[in-house]
A and B are shown apart, each in its own frame.
Chain A
Amino acid sequence: MTKPKVAIHSITGCAGCQLTIYFVKDLLLKLLEKIDLVAAPMLKEKNNAGPYDVCFMEGLVASKDDLEHLKKIREQSKILVALGTCATHGNVPGIKNSYSDSTVVESRVYKNLNLKEQIMPLKPAPIDAHVKVDYYISGCPPEEKEILKFITDLLLGKKPVIYDEPVCVECSLKENDCLLERGEECLGPMIRGGCDALCPSVNHGCTGCHGPLSDANILQGIKLLEQNGVDIKLIKKRFHKYSYDKFSELEEQAKKIKRKD
């Protein structure tokens, strides 16, 4: 069997998602027996252009450079995987979208707004706002075990299924005492798990780093938090931190359903 050609590329982001892969140490060496890592600019000196069988794309689109790079990579990749919450949901840079006028933010960050066109900020957006994405592995950073499972499934010729259950599932299976029930703040019911309920297991409410569940019940989720005395402004801030666009979209959908009733 010829080894699949795999690439790990990156646009605007902190590189933490890639590091998750590089940190699997001994596993990485075993993995390299199975795949041909043809491009990983953070790890290797020599990096090949496509075609790639699989490309993991980290980061979000925030500049013209990003966009051109992303489009080129998409054309060269059979399977494109959005890796991490920047790529899947826009993450922290997406907070900017909660301002109606983006120059308010930009003028505070850059002394001189006459930037070169290539690095001039674009509206921050997850990569599927610009190209077709085949799989999404969210997480800030994404879970090592989810990435490994994804790769082994592909190597076995199975269609990977990405876990899409709320944090509450893994949390309840661990028999954690529920923070929400104790009157505290936890976004668990609205957020995609896969992290083994990392935060609630150490008594810290989930803040949503995996982005929303695909069919999250946002209106009820907000209601539950408000019942616990959490301020709606804070709830929105939490949502916007990781996933401004998707939450706004889910909120709109939910309101429409409500109006119909």
Chain B
Amino acid sequence: MGKILDKKDLKCFFEKLQKIGEVVAPVKNENISFKPVKKFSEVCFEGRSMFPIKKYFLPTKEAIAEIKNDAFVEKNDFKKRIIFGARLCDLNGLLVLDKLFLDPLYPDKIYAIRRENTILIGFACKEPLSDFCFCESMDLKDYYDLLITENNEKYYVSIGSKKGANLVTEYKDYDINLKKPVCKKKLKNKNIHDFFDEKFWEKDALKCVSCQRCTLLCPTCLCFDVADEMNIDLKLGTRNRSLDSCHSKDFTLVAGGHVFRDTKLKRYRHRVFHKIQYFKDKFEIPMCVGCGRCMEFCHSKIDFVDTINNLKK
């Protein structure tokens, strides 16, 4: 159920969105990247971006507070933003981030403000965008304000929220069932508790170069580091939050110099367990949304899905 638009309508709709706030959309240069766009023609409707949309909620590095002579001034500026053209895996990535950052006990203020001020408009995938996609195995939810499916130059807009519905009141309704993509790649086992032993992960870990692309580019990896950076006058500075990664050796460095996960194997295994097991044990949904980036952009093309599928006692 939803609304139907033709190509001309979609352009008008896009221009209407520009009046609401900053529109960011996938743009293709050497690779595909989400950027602020001025013209409808800049929007790339194919492929998925290398970097996920999490950067608009959890920037790769940002000052969360100004330090002025020992006092902290929290930063809190945010404008209205429309994310136009996110894939369903990335949108489900936000469901994962929300679980943590919108936790009623420990909400993250900056994240919450950004979520509230962002409109999420997705593009549906008619077929998997890469050989590494396995979203079909991850039971993705309809988590968006609007989701656009292209079919023979017509755009079917499914409505996921009231915020979304209000944007498309003037268009005609449709009533057909839209197909979901069928992935060749499948994750066959989502319970890996019994396979913690090092021997299951050795082969993959030997190929790991610690480049951290699997976590930095993952739509649901949310680990960050907080550090103060002072100007040379030692009076002014910023408290910065930046993306971190469990594939970094220093991720588990503690006072005294000890490193808990001191081998690539321990770090790789931890990532896979967090993605597939630990998060699910706590929050009921797996952390992985099946976008395939961690394999496609891994320098060594380490395929944890294949490895899990072949786990045998």
Question: A residues near B, CB below 8 A?
Answer: 27, 30-31, 33-34, 148-149, 151-152, 155-156, 161, 164-166, 168-169, 172-173, 175, 177-178, 180-181, 188-190, 213-217, 220-221, 224, 261
Does B117 reach chain A (CB closer than 8 Å)? no
Name the residue of chain B whose CB is nearest to the CB of A214.
B249
B266 to chain A: closest CB distance in Å?
A: 12
B31 near A189 with CB under 8 A, answer: no
Q: Which of B213, B217, B232, B253 contacts A151 (CB 8 A)?
A: B232
B110 to chain A: closest CB distance in Å?
A: 19
Give every chain A residue within 8 A of B232 (Cβ-Cβ).
27, 30-31, 34, 148, 151-152
C-alpha gap A214/B259 in the complex (Å): 13
A79 to chain B: closest CB distance in Å?
A: 17
Does B137 reach chain A (CB closer than 8 Å)? no
Give every chain B residue within 8 A of A175 (Cβ-Cβ).
31, 33, 50-51
Chain B, range 257-303, C-beta contacts under 8 Å to A = 264, 297, 299-300
Give every chain B residue within 8 A of A261 (Cβ-Cβ).
202, 206
B237 to chain A: closest CB distance in Å?
A: 8
Other A-B pairs, 20, CB within 8 Å; known A168-B212, A169-B211, A175-B51: A30-B233, A152-B232, A156-B234, A161-B250, A164-B250, A165-B250, A166-B211, A168-B211, A168-B213, A169-B216, A172-B297, A173-B60, A173-B61, A173-B243, A181-B297, A188-B211, A189-B299, A215-B249, A217-B208, A224-B299
Q: Which of A152, A189, A213, A221 contacts B234 (CB 8 A)?
A: A152
A34 near B234 with CB under 8 A, answer: yes
Give every chain B residue within 8 A of A173 (Cβ-Cβ).
60-61, 216, 243
Secondary structure class of chain B's binding surface, majority of residues: loop
What bracket does the count of chain B residues touching chain A fall in? 35 or more
Question: B residues near A, CB below 8 A?
Answer: 29-31, 33, 50-51, 60-61, 202, 206-213, 216-217, 229-234, 243, 245, 248-250, 253, 264, 297, 299-300
C-alpha gap A152/B235 in the complex (Å): 11
Name the residue of chain B whose CB is nearest to the CB of A167.
B211
Name the residue of chain B whose CB is nearest to the CB of A174.
B60
B234 near A166 with CB under 8 A, answer: no
C-alpha gap A88/B209 in the complex (Å): 22
A213 near B210 with CB under 8 A, answer: yes
C-alpha gap A216/B289 in the complex (Å): 30
Give every chain A residue within 8 A of B211 (Cβ-Cβ).
166, 168-169, 172, 188-189
Most buried by B among A27, A33, A161, A169: A169
C-alpha gap A213/B212 in the complex (Å): 13
C-alpha gap A123/B233 in the complex (Å): 42
Give every chain A residue within 8 A of B30 (Cβ-Cβ).
177
A217 near B210 with CB under 8 A, answer: yes
A206 to chain B: closest CB distance in Å?
A: 12
Give every chain A residue within 8 A of B250 (Cβ-Cβ).
161, 164-165
6 A-B pairs within 8 Å (CB atoms) are namely A30-B233, A169-B212, A172-B51, A173-B243, A175-B33, A190-B209
Q: Assuming the A-B contacts A34-B232, A177-B30, A217-B264, are A166 and B249 also in contact, with contact meaning beta carbons closer than 8 angstroms in the complex?
A: no
Name the residue of chain B whose CB is nearest to the CB of A186.
B299
Name the residue of chain A whose CB is nearest to the CB of B34.
A175
Q: Assuming the A-B contacts A175-B31, A177-B31, A213-B210, are A168 and B249 also in contact, with contact meaning beta carbons closer than 8 angstroms in the complex?
A: no
C-alpha gap A173/B208 in the complex (Å): 19
C-alpha gap A173/B229 in the complex (Å): 19
Q: Assuming the A-B contacts A156-B234, A173-B243, are A220 and B248 also in contact, with contact meaning beta carbons closer than 8 angstroms in the complex?
A: no
Most buried by A among B29, B51, B210, B212: B210
A2 to chain B: closest CB distance in Å?
A: 15
Q: Which of B51, B206, B229 contacts A149 (CB 8 A)?
A: B229
B209 near A166 with CB under 8 A, answer: yes
A189 near B209 with CB under 8 A, answer: yes
Give every chain A residue within 8 A of B202 (Cβ-Cβ).
261
C-alpha gap A33/B250 in the complex (Å): 33
B300 to chain A: closest CB distance in Å?
A: 6
C-alpha gap A261/B231 in the complex (Å): 49
Give every chain B residue within 8 A of A31 (Cβ-Cβ).
232
Name the residue of chain A whose CB is nearest to the CB of B248.
A165
A221 near B31 with CB under 8 A, answer: no
